[in-house]
Amino acid sequence: MWFRNLQIYRLEPGWKMTADQLAEQLTRLPFQPCGSQEPLSRGWIAPVADGPFAHSLGGHWLLTLMVEQRLLPGSVVKQEVAERAELLEAQQGFKPGRKQLKDLRDAVVQELMPRAFTKRRRTSGWIDPKGGWLVIDAASRKGAEPFIEALLKAADSVPVTLLDTANSPAAAMTGWLADGDGPGAFGIDQDCELRAVTDEKSAVRYVRHALDGKDVREHLGGGKQVTKLALTYDDRVSFTLNDKLEVKRLDFLDVVRDSVPDSLDQAERFDADFALMTGELSRLIPALIEALGGLQGGK
């Protein structure tokens, strides 16, 4: 259940809600499989089988959104419409007009939709009421939006705002790389991306490459900024930070994962993993914000 990506949001200070209250409110939008004519369905499920919709452990809450989508490729619809349009043209002696083609397409979609395969995906989110965080395991802001929308739709009040730091990640990462060392307990790894400020298409990427060489310094001296940088925090968690303040390729190192005993059953292992993950992230996120100059406006 380890998160792989972090989309980080702030919860307004003073927000008061218990895990039980939130779990009860999430039942207003439970997951239901797609109906025969529904292309998409989403709703909340229990993170742990037969548990509440907000799994609580040590003051940390875990939520899980389930999304089901019917897979009806546009190419399949297009081909079927084309075949039916040919038949219609032969019958009426002239090519179908725009309205007829639209009606054909609507009919094809209606007929094929119930037979389309479905695909499900889960998106997990961690709420730390004490620290004031909502963290979603999604690779992009767009990928986190369905989670936020479903949360705001089901719950009475969850005041979330995007994380904003005093210093831009790009400027900070460029400074770290120029100095040859990360701030505090952060160390620089061997992956990065540099882009020209005047031409976003001009980019240089390094993968598993030493970043202290002359070529890197020349790119920095030429005005390129770091837009992605691989970092390790306290020799316990590695990740890639980008200029949008997104954490990707998150990996909890063996010193963390190996602390969970092999003797635990599945439920105990789940809780142990969750406790370890939230414990590490509760240290990493504030340290990262501090390295970026703190929260914008000091809030």
pLDDT at 259 > cutoff 90: no
CA dihedral sign of residues 210, 216, 220, 223? negative
Interval 76-84 mean pLDDT: 91
Mean pLDDT within 48-56: 95
The answer to whether residue 120 scores a pLDDT higher than 90 is yes
Supply 144's token pair. 């986190």
d(CA 245, CA 164): 8
What pLDDT is stored for residue 248 in this prediction?
97
Does 79 have pLDDT greater than 90? yes
Residue 294, φ and ψ in degrees, nearest 5: 85, 180
Give percent above pLDDT 70 in the chain.
99
Residue whose pair of structure tokens reads 């998409």 in the numeric block: 40
Cross-strand partners of 63 = 125
- What mean pLDDT is reported for the chain? 93
Q: Helix (H, G, I), strand (E, B), or coil: what is residue 47? A: coil
pTM of the entire structure? Answer: 0.88
pLDDT in tens, 168-187: 999 999 999 999 999 999 99
What mean pLDDT comes out for the span 67-88? 92
The token pair that represents 239 in the structure block: 């990740």
Query: Which band of pLDDT confidence, cut at 50, 70 and 90, is reported for residue 1?
Result: confident
- 8 Å CB contact between 230 and 247: no
Q: What is the pLDDT of residue 14?
A: 85
pLDDT of residue 201: 73
- For residue 45, what pLDDT band results from cuts at 50, 70 and 90? very high
User: pLDDT value at position 298?
Assistant: 65
Q: What per-residue confidence (pLDDT) applies to 299?
A: 59
Predicted pLDDT at 200: 67
Phi, psi of 288 (to 5 degrees): -65, -40
User: How would residue 197 be classed by pLDDT, with cut points 50, 70 and 90?
Assistant: confident
Comparison of pLDDT for 204 and 14, the residue scoring more: 204
The confidence score (pLDDT) of residue 21 equals 96
Q: Alpha-carbon distance 1 to 267, whole Å?
A: 11
